[in-house]
Structure 1
């Protein structure tokens, strides 16, 4: 499946699985909308 030029929405993208998926989709050419609430 090609995701080139598709828009992908990922919540929880600051770390962990969400961050890994964001990197994978970006490398595959997708456009990303990322969101997260990370309170340290």
Structure 2
């Protein structure tokens, strides 16, 4: 399992069980340039 898959599982579990989001580490907070540097394409 990749780290991305693990974090997606944790996030889904948290949403299903009413965890509050803190805003840290979410993919929404990454800029397009940061995503490009990480090798993520197609956004």
TM range (shorter): 0.3 to 0.5
Greater fraction strand? 1
Provide the TM-score with structure 1 as the length reference: 0.44
Higher helix share: 2
Tell me: higher relative CO, structure 1 or 2? Use CA pairs within 8 A at least 6 residues apart.
1
TM-score normalized by the length of structure 2: 0.42
